Structure 1
Amino acid sequence: MGSRSRVSSNIFSLRNVTILFLVGYFGIFVIYPIYKAFAGSLHDWNPLIDQYDFVGLANFKNVLTNQLFWSSISNTFIFAFFSVIFRIIIGLGLAILLYSKLARFKTFFRGMFYMPTITPLVAVSFVWMWLYNPQFGLINKVFHIDINWLKDSHWALPAIIIMTIWKDFGYATVIFLGGLMGLPEDVFEAADMDGASKWQRFVNITWPLLKPTTLFVTITSLISYLQAYVQILIMTEGGPGTSTYVISYLIFDEAFVKYNFGVASAMAIILFVIIGILTVIMFKITGESEGLA
């Protein structure tokens, strides 16, 4: 009895330590930063001169009346929309090809497709800057075109979107491939016996069963792309002009270039609310579609 009680006591202590660790972790790295951002959004905050003056909602008013903020919001949604859509389309298409019984060297291609995802974004950005170079860039030479990709306001944002899709589609491929491997084989066998074509199998079986996987990829991608700015910082610095400003880059510019931490905090709170609303809407739409099904 004594040894059993000691084991139970040790397990209870381990649970308490684990819970305290998780509470401390979320408190320090999640709850406190959110609180600090919200508090900072209500102040004229410049840490360089130790300024922290309460201004109420003035920062939010300045942000919401700033034309550059709305332009960056528009760019953010364009960037996120096309990046998410093509990440899903390419990822799902490649996953289906790799899942096919006719595909050979599956392990090799899985690793090859996933390689860009784990490559540091900074390194990828510099490589694509070379590819986009108008004088000696490989893209212009291969396609026999003359486009100054990163210095043309019409092409700069599409160029960054293309690079982002190339880097990230491997993530969706691996996730969708895992989803495909978890689908019940008997359903497909029954469909084959009924004479269903490959397209009918995809539309009526594969795609509906992959809805949870698609929701996961969509939400994680959306959250990631609404906060993306590293490739923009390296490749265009928001230019030419402000044509590639996105909300996260604008937050970075306000905080670490202009040191307007109060304004940057207000933008961060607005972005946080936007991400929360979009996530809830996606869950709601998916839940209703599953209910109708």
Structure 2
Amino acid sequence: MFRKTNPLQSKSEILLRNITVTGMILFYTVFLLVPIGIAFAGSFHEWNPLSGIYRFNGIENYISVFTSALFGKSMLNTLIFSVVVIFFRVGLGLAIAIAIYSNLIKHKSFFRAIYYMPVVTPMVAVAFVWKFLYNPQIGAINQILGLDINWLMNPKTALLAIMIMTIWKDFGYAVVMFMAGLYSLPSDAMEAARVDGASSWQTFKYLTLPLLKPMTLFVVITSIISYIQAYVQVLILTEGGPGTATYLSSYIIYNEAFVKYNFGYASAMSFVLFVITAVFTWLSFRVSGDSE
């Protein structure tokens, strides 16, 4: 596979490299490419593994996806959910990162760790805690704010409640990413701006923000991919309810595949969602000006 080009490389090093690369190829083939191929083929079949049904039906599953009112509603919910959560994730993450980066804040490592802790906490655990907080009788949110709202059973507040929980859990990721970006800024450019008499706002607007553009794009892209696939918080907090108020696209896929065992239809929706994710990712690059 690899020829020995460096006389300092031993035969054992070359052998180890070949074994490692071969193992990675086999791993991704068996656990990624093959399942994707099986799912793609299954999307053209009426497929129920429990009853042993695997019957070819052409593009009927895809027609059902594009004519489904529920899938359309779920995509609208997903769009609203993603836009709001990404906006606050990026905004809060950038604001807090700049606050920690400034000379006014001490113990920077402590604050970075505090804000990142919710990110590494499993979503299942976070969702159960917030479900208790949203409880209309004994939940801390209603008691602290003096409200009487059934957050998760009200169609007007259920999706909002899920978005608030998701923002709280995930904005720490943006904080850490923007902190890394801020520490990588060229110090000579920042010093030149100060020498030229630029105010803090001017330095941020014309220097810091443009230099953080690649990091902002990275956070936005990873957020789009993550939130289009979000379903765990919906499953635990509302199960899509009340009614279809909190149906997200990935939750429908989960429901069709693992509740109704309609694997063919779920596979078709998965590939439609994959294309939509790719389109939104491409649009993000285009809007940012980083694509030809």
TM-score by length of 1: 0.95
Q: 1:101 corresponds to which residue?
A: 103
| In structure 2, distance between residues paired with 1:288 and 1:112 | 33
Say what the alpha-carbon RMSD is for the aligned residues: 1.5
Give the one of 77, 80, 104 matched to 1:78: 80
Q: Which moved more, 1:159-168 or 1:194-203?
A: 194-203
Deviations 1:33-91 (A, max 9, x none): 22112111000000001110000100001111110000000001111111111000001
Give the one of 122, 125, 129 matched to 2:124: 122
How much does 1:231 deviate? 0.6
SS of the residue corresponding to residue 49 of structure 1 reads coil
Q: 1:263 corresponds to which residue?
A: 265
Gaps of 5+ in 1: none
| In structure 1, distance between residues paired with 2:57 and 2:135 | 46
Would you tell me which structure has more helix in proportion to its own residues? 1
Q: Spell out the pairing of 1:1-293 with structure 2 (5 A cutoff).
A: 7-288=9-290
Letter in 2 for 1:35: G
Deviations 1:213-260 (A, max 9, x none): 011111111101000000100000000001100000000000111111
Gaps of 5+ in 2: 1-5
How much does 1:161 deviate? 0.2
Alpha-carbon spacing, 1:5–1:201, altered in 2? closer, same or farther (3 Å): closer
Q: Which moved more, 1:139-148 or 1:175-184?
A: 139-148
| In structure 1, distance between residues paired with 2:290 and 2:166 | 31
How much does 1:105 deviate? 1.7
SS of the residue corresponding to residue 48 of structure 1 reads coil
Letter in 1 for 2:95: G
Among the aligned pairs, what percent are the same residue? Answer: 54
SS of the residue corresponding to residue 10 of structure 2 reads helix
| In structure 2, distance between residues paired with 1:6 and 1:53 | 58
Q: Which moved more, 1:94-103 or 1:278-287?
A: 278-287
| In structure 1, distance between residues paired with 2:115 and 2:245 | 31
SS of the residue corresponding to residue 53 of structure 1 reads strand
Q: 2:3 corresponds to which residue?
A: none
Number of aligned positions between the proteins = 287
Deviations 1:135-169 (A, max 9, x none): 11111111111111000001000000000000001
TM-score by length of 2: 0.95
How much does 1:6 deviate? 9.0
Q: Which moved more, 1:188-197 or 1:14-23?
A: 14-23
SS of the residue corresponding to residue 50 of structure 2 reads helix
| In structure 1, distance between residues paired with 2:188 and 2:118 | 35
Q: Which moved more, 1:275-284 or 1:84-93?
A: 275-284
Deviations 1:72-117 (A, max 9, x none): 0000111111111100000111100110011112111111111111
Letter in 2 for 1:143: L
| In structure 1, distance between residues paired with 2:9 and 2:137 | 71
